[in-house]
Structure 1
Amino acid sequence: MEEAAAAGIVITFGLIIWALKVVNWLWLRPKKIEKLLREQGLKGNPYRILIGDLKDFVKMQKDAGSKPMSFSHEIVSRVSPYVKLTVDKHGKNSFIWFGPTPWVILTDPELIKNVLNKIHDFPKPDTNPILKLLATGLVTHEGEKWSRHRRIINPSFNIEKLKIMLPIFFKSCNDLISKWEGMLSSDGSCEMDVWPFLQNFASDVISRTAFGSSYEEGRRIFQLQKEQAELTMKVMVKAYIPGWRFLPTTIHRRMKEICTDVNASLKDIIEKRERALNAGEASKNNLLDILLESNRKEIQEHGNNKNVGMNLEDIIEECKLFYFAGQETTSVLLVWTMVLLSRYPDWQARAREEVLRVFGNQKPDFDGLSQLKIVTMILYEVLRLYPPAVGLVRNVHKDVKLGNLALPAGVQVYLPPVLVHHDCELWGDDAKEFNPERFSEGVVKATKGRVSFFPFGWGPRICIGQNFSMLEARMALTVILQHFSFELSPAYAHAPSTVMTLQPQYGAHIILRKVGT
């Protein structure tokens, strides 16, 4: 009896502690943080238990995406409606509640610079296990593991290695042009949705450059990763409900199936490339071979233990990230570039004149691509108006001073490129207009040295593949301009929408015409 009574006391005591932790998480801690934020002049809605602003956030996002918008670049109210409403209502020094966690919205370039520079004070949020099914790798790691992976992966993206990959870019470009030429009618024109073609092009490039001779298998992996991204967006908001990820829903089961399939395929490819590397048969002209060789050198130099180099699971995750980041970023940059150049034919003509002056109808080379000033200005302006990621989130895991703000542990900071890139105070009265001329003297001059343009992030964790993506985009746009002129189809519906990255919700319907016809 005494033992039973003692056990009952322990259980009761445990339940009380658990209940207090729940109350603290759901109410006491958020209200304490809210008080601290308001004392510093930050404004936002009062905290509502568990959901915060999530219900309104989701409803506004759904309503905004229910129909196309008129063609303009004032896209913030469509792609980030709740954040825009909050800033309009409460000012730039404001916050929103993502469940019991407040997001402090930062639009001041100096504060953004500090956050993106101080990667130890402002780490990335812990990735929800459901979201990890899509990709982890370098983008989610912190501390020593991030430093080690970054060091090992760096050689894959240096300029000399990218030069080696140019013929692969060109091969994929040629395949795209051949497909489009095969669809032309007798008058040399055709109308099509270029979005799926550009997605397939970018996946073809990353498949060839990542896996070399195994690229056909790589393409199959890409299709699975694409489906995984779409499923991830469907579960994104619910993923923050405690315990929800354990429910055996149809989507959860399918996501786990895809993860298992992709991991098995990548494991097979990696082991084949390692055998080729060991036998001296690896070409070393693809990302995976370069990564495996760099990893081998790291292990040889620092010893083979769990804190050195990458294991097989690490390499699989980095390969998944190659796909997701490499394909997504370039395809959305190209599709919005084609849409905007269709809308602004004078800039399209200027870009084509530059391309033909530098290359004529010859195959583009690295030195020539580096000379394309107008093309580069256009790509920067597209990235400004239509950044691939509309928002970046960082954790505050301990009390920290940021400018005049004292941020308590438990908040997150939200850095919205789409808001900052469209800010008239930072970019002038024409901030919402397409004007590549603003980049005529480069990014530093255009931004006046401020962190007001960060489509690839900024600071130590700036996207490692940005040079890869920009070189691929310059090559693709050059080859397209050599062969086609293009304009918007009457069927085009302007509807920027976030599916991990900023994409055209209803595609990009464009009329292509063979140059010279």
Structure 2
Amino acid sequence: MEVVMLVCFIGMVGMVMWVVFVYGIEWVKSQRVRRKLRMQGISGPPPSFLHGNLLEMHRINTASQAKVVHSSDHTHDFTESLFPYFEIWRKQYGLLYTYSTGIKQNLYMNSPELISEMNKLMTLDLGKPSHITNNLASLLGNGILRANGLSWSHQRKLIAPEFYMEKVKGMVDLMIESTQPLLTRWDKAIAAKLGSDDDDGNGTVEVEVDEDLRSLAADVISRVCFGHSYSKGIEVFSKLRLMQKKMSKHGTFLFGIKGLRDTLNNIWRGKENEIKIMEEEVESLIWELVEERKQECSEKPSSKKDLMQLLLEAAMSDDDSTSLPKDFAKQFIVDNCKNIYFAGHETVAITASWSLMLLATYPEWQDRVRKEVAQVFPNGIPNVDSLPLLKTLTMVIHEVLRLYPPGAFVSREVYKDTQIEKLLVPKGVVLWTLIPTIHRDPEVWGANANEFEPERFKDGVSKACKYPQAYVPFGLGPRLCVGKNFAMVQLKVVLALIVSRFRFSLSPSYKHAPAYRMIIEPRHGVHLLIHKI
């Protein structure tokens, strides 16, 4: 017995020594990379041996938890409360500095000139950081949002054409059709209020619009991309949303701040296993929808193919140059359905929610948009040819995306030494651009950078600020969001329909507290008081 215990003890000691040895080698490599950056004049917070700057980030983050941004300050600047370490280091080290997360070396890069140069790099040697993609594997699989290299390139070639403007124009009628149930539901709520004992005289009702807009956006993406309504995909959306919330609660997944103790606690409490179960359930549900779609396509062939049909054809093609290995085909379809389900509805819904919040806060802009919509669409129904005439609404959407971009970061891992302007970025470094910060830089946007001023976009994005490349709500470079056109058109359609039918203001129960849960969203929802015009 003693011999067995001795052997086990020696084995454990050996394993610990091996881990420390391997970690030490990686730490030395990391410090070598850090020295290369420092030799180019780039400084940053000094790292510790085991954690790099993670403990400091955790300490700063914990200290700022109590700070909440209130709408009464009219600045809409939430960066210091959500990403305090970046803001503290930016003020200390400038727009270009390096820091460490464990053995991973990072480069914070919020210089417009460097962002512009990075934007020009048409290379597969920059990709999504591996530690982020690993953390998001359960939610996104290996679809277009997570893939890198040739796999990403192949998927983008397949999916991007389905979101070109000519294709998106053909989706407008479906967008209008999907919005009607929401308008009807609000109409009925107002009518019920008018007939109730607590009627205030104008039928004003309180609505938490973000949940309604999620359902609407989910219905749109289901119809236009997968040929079925939200009712069929409701379980998929609800489970993906639940996975997103649980993964966000596990800690700051972007940087691994949760640490070993929190990871062990999650495993002990079954949270990791819970997410795995949900992942399997989502994939099973999606594959059921895929099988239904395959059956429908075989029974009723159509020349107009939706995105799911194209994914099926690409995966099952007999052409060796475009087809996928049969054992990979099913996962390819499921993963990209998960990506499009998640990204295609979540970001649009949140942007629409922030748009209504700001239009409620600034009623003069709500009136201007309403007047424009009435002029462009006298019958109250948008049409595809006149959407470009909505100049005021477009200005508002651009300003909403500037102040409340769904994505907080542009992040890229460098797979081999890469030259960006005069800067040589060593292999393995992760580049970070904090979008809310560059969207609020007074040097770029002027003294009113923290204020809601849609007028700044009156001459388009290119003339809205000093450096047009500093406006990146849809990302930048080769990985620019493929759904940009789809999102902009849908936002115009939905907001035009809502503004033309209802007048709204902020409810007293609304609490302005932006939160980061993979995207920037309202922590407590968006509560509005609405009444019919």
When normalised by structure 1's length, the TM-score is 0.90
Structure 2 matches for 1:209-358, cutoff 5 A?
209-213=224-228, 215-237=230-252, 240=256, 241=259, 244=263, 247=267, 249-281=269-301, 284=304, 286-293=306-313, 299-300=318-319, 302=321, 304=323, 306=325, 311-358=329-376
Query: Contact 1:210 / 1:288 at 8 angstroms: preserved in 2?
Result: yes
Give the secondary-structure state (helix, strand or coil) at the position aligned to 1:478: helix
> Which residue matches 1:106?
109
Cα shift at 1:37: 2.5
Query: Contact 2:351 / 2:406 at 8 angstroms: preserved in 1?
Result: yes
Against the structure 1 CA distance between its residues 67 and 198, is the aligned structure 2 distance closer, same or farther, given a 3 Å change threshold? farther
Alignment deviations for residues 4-59 of structure 1 (CA, whole Å, 9 cap, x no partner)? xxxxxxx999997764322122x323333333333322222111123222233234
Tell me, yes or no, if structure 1 residue 162 matches structure 2 residue 199.
no
- Equivalent of 1:192, from 207, 216, 227? 207
Give the secondary-structure state (helix, strand or coil) at the position aligned to 1:312: helix
Tell me, yes or no, if structure 1 residue 123 matches structure 2 residue 127.
yes
Per mean C-alpha deviation after superposition, the further-off stretch among 401-410 and 73-82 is: 401-410
> Which residue matches 2:198?
none
Query: Contact 2:314 / 2:322 at 8 angstroms: preserved in 1?
Result: no
Alignment deviations for residues 44-99 of structure 1 (CA, whole Å, 9 cap, x no partner)? 21111232222332344455444532223122112221111110122222223222
> Which residue matches 2:94?
91
Query: Contact 1:124 / 1:395 at 8 angstroms: preserved in 2?
Result: yes
Against the structure 1 CA distance between its residues 489 and 362, is the aligned structure 2 distance closer, same or farther, given a 3 Å change threshold? closer
- How many residue pairs get matched? 504
Per mean C-alpha deviation after superposition, the further-off stretch among 14-23 and 230-239 is: 14-23
Query: Contact 2:203 / 2:531 at 8 angstroms: preserved in 1?
Result: yes
Distance in 2 (CA, whole Å) between partners of 1:123 and 1:483 is 44
Query: Contact 1:138 / 1:318 at 8 angstroms: preserved in 2?
Result: yes
Over aligned residue pairs, what C-alpha RMSD do you find? Answer: 2.8
> Which residue matches 1:4?
none
Against the structure 1 CA distance between its residues 188 and 265, is the aligned structure 2 distance closer, same or farther, given a 3 Å change threshold? same
Alignment deviations for residues 136-185 of structure 1 (CA, whole Å, 9 cap, x no partner)? 31112222221211111123212333233222211221111111122222
- For 2:281, give the aligned amino acid: D
Structure 2: tracts of 5 or more residues without a match: 1-11, 195-201
> Which residue matches 1:7?
none
Distance in 2 (CA, whole Å) between partners of 1:209 and 1:197 is 19
Query: Contact 2:439 / 2:470 at 8 angstroms: preserved in 1?
Result: yes
Cα shift at 1:237: 3.7
Cα shift at 1:509: 1.6
- For 1:35, give the aligned amino acid: R
Tell me, yes or no, if structure 1 residue 496 matches structure 2 residue 514.
yes
Give the secondary-structure state (helix, strand or coil) at the position aligned to 2:228: helix
> Which residue matches 2:447?
429
> Which residue matches 2:475?
457
Against the structure 1 CA distance between its residues 449 and 82, is the aligned structure 2 distance closer, same or farther, given a 3 Å change threshold? closer
Alignment deviations for residues 201-253 of structure 1 (CA, whole Å, 9 cap, x no partner)? 22222222233236423111000000011111123546845794894642111
Percent of aligned pairs with the same residue?
Answer: 31
Query: Contact 1:86 / 1:95 at 8 angstroms: preserved in 2?
Result: no
Distance in 1 (CA, whole Å) between partners of 2:487 and 2:481 is 10
Against the structure 1 CA distance between its residues 302 and 94, is the aligned structure 2 distance closer, same or farther, given a 3 Å change threshold? closer
- For 2:137, give the aligned amino acid: K
Cα shift at 1:406: 2.5
When normalised by structure 2's length, the TM-score is 0.87
Distance in 2 (CA, whole Å) between partners of 1:290 and 1:30 is 43
Per mean C-alpha deviation after superposition, the further-off stretch among 91-100 and 254-263 is: 91-100
- For 1:271, give the aligned amino acid: E
Distance in 2 (CA, whole Å) between partners of 1:215 and 1:228 is 19
- For 1:400, give the aligned amino acid: T
Give the secondary-structure state (helix, strand or coil) at the position aligned to 1:44: coil
- For 1:437, give the aligned amino acid: E
Against the structure 1 CA distance between its residues 39 and 295, is the aligned structure 2 distance closer, same or farther, given a 3 Å change threshold? same
- For 1:164, give the aligned amino acid: G
Tell me, yes or no, if structure 1 residue 484 matches structure 2 residue 502.
yes
Distance in 1 (CA, whole Å) between partners of 2:85 and 2:137 is 26
Structure 1: tracts of 5 or more residues without a match: 1-10
Cα shift at 1:355: 0.3
Query: Contact 2:98 / 2:107 at 8 angstroms: preserved in 1?
Result: yes
Query: Contact 1:110 / 1:450 at 8 angstroms: preserved in 2?
Result: no
Against the structure 1 CA distance between its residues 62 and 324, is the aligned structure 2 distance closer, same or farther, given a 3 Å change threshold? farther
Cα shift at 1:195: 1.8
Cα shift at 1:111: 1.3
> Which residue matches 2:4?
none
- For 1:88, give the aligned amino acid: K
> Which residue matches 1:132?
137
Query: Contact 2:218 / 2:230 at 8 angstroms: preserved in 1?
Result: no
Cα shift at 1:434: 1.0
- For 1:84, give the aligned amino acid: E
Give the secondary-structure state (helix, strand or coil) at the position aligned to 1:414: strand
Query: Contact 1:41 / 1:93 at 8 angstroms: preserved in 2?
Result: no
> Which residue matches 2:382?
364
Per mean C-alpha deviation after superposition, the further-off stretch among 495-504 and 190-199 is: 190-199
Give the secondary-structure state (helix, strand or coil) at the position aligned to 2:490: helix
Against the structure 1 CA distance between its residues 492 and 304, is the aligned structure 2 distance closer, same or farther, given a 3 Å change threshold? closer
Query: Contact 1:492 / 1:510 at 8 angstroms: preserved in 2?
Result: yes
Give the secondary-structure state (helix, strand or coil) at the position aligned to 2:107: strand
